[in-house]
Amino acid sequence: MKLVTCCSFKGGAGKTTALMGLCSALVADGKRVALFEADENRPLTRWRENATKRNAWDTACEIFIADELPLLEHAYEQAEAENFDYALADTHGGSSELNNTIIASSQLLLVPTMLSPLDADEALATYRYIIELLIGENLAIPAAILRQRVPVGRLTSSQRTVLEMLGELPQTDRPMHERDAFAAMKNRGMLHLNIRSAQTNPAMRLALRNLTTAMEELHELGRFVDNALEQ
């Protein structure tokens, strides 16, 4: 089982959205995914509740509560025993022994950020913290910036400046753009199941193209994760 962690010390950076999207891409490709919920606010649990109501939850994914060290250890052992292909961990804000354990146990670390100067500063602080932790533990774990809510059209001068600054760090091959399909995932459930539903509903014909474009981006993120884990 491969553990991929989304890290951000700032709330609202998009780490849960990234996990939702990556989970959907991996499950759509036939993988079994365990979600480790280390955020005490339980955003992934609420996502599953909303998705289940809309018949948009895939049983190839299971959530494990992991907001304390003993729970994390139990979740990892159980998910591994049940032969999940991937575990995706949603850390809580700030630094803690729990977050440090998750980071040090991962095979890949993603640091999501939006393109505001404040978000970028927080992402850089998180990235720096991760690298210092890994050096201190004598670990070599790949880490990459995941750009979130990137406008599809023209960027502002401030956003271009942020992109140039982030360009000095390893990044995912493609950002997650600012799309309604991503913003709506927490209420609508797994994107690949939303697409399946839209394909049978003529009234969703126009929306289907947008959903499909968003799903293509998530598949690219999934391929990036696979390639990073194989190196």
pLDDT of residue 93 exceeding 80: no
Nearest of 12, 7, 14 to residue 36 by alpha carbon: 7
pLDDT band for 160, please (50, 70, 90 cuts).
very high
Residue 224 structure tokens: 């990036």
pLDDT of residue 12 exceeding 80: no
Give the model confidence (pLDDT) of 126-135 as tens digits. 999 999 999 9
pLDDT of residue 39 exceeding 90: no
Give the model confidence (pLDDT) of 98-150 as tens digits. 999 999 999 999 999 999 999 999 999 999 999 999 999 999 999 999 999 99
pLDDT band for 10, please (50, 70, 90 cuts).
low
Residue given tokens 């339980």 in the structure block: 42
pLDDT of residue 13 exceeding 70: no
pLDDT value at residue 206: 78
pLDDT of residue 201 exceeding 90: no
What's the number of domains the chain is made of? Answer: 1
Measured CA to CA, the distance from residue 186 to residue 46 in angstroms comes to 8
Q: Residue 94's domain spans which residues?
A: 2-230
pTM of the model: 0.93
CATH code of the domain covering residue 148: 3.40.50.300
Residues in contact with 16: Cβ distance below 8 Å, sequence separation at least 6, in sequence order: 6, 39, 43, 44, 47, 90, 186
Measured CA to CA, the distance from residue 134 to residue 14 in angstroms comes to 23
**pLDDT averaged over the chain?**
92
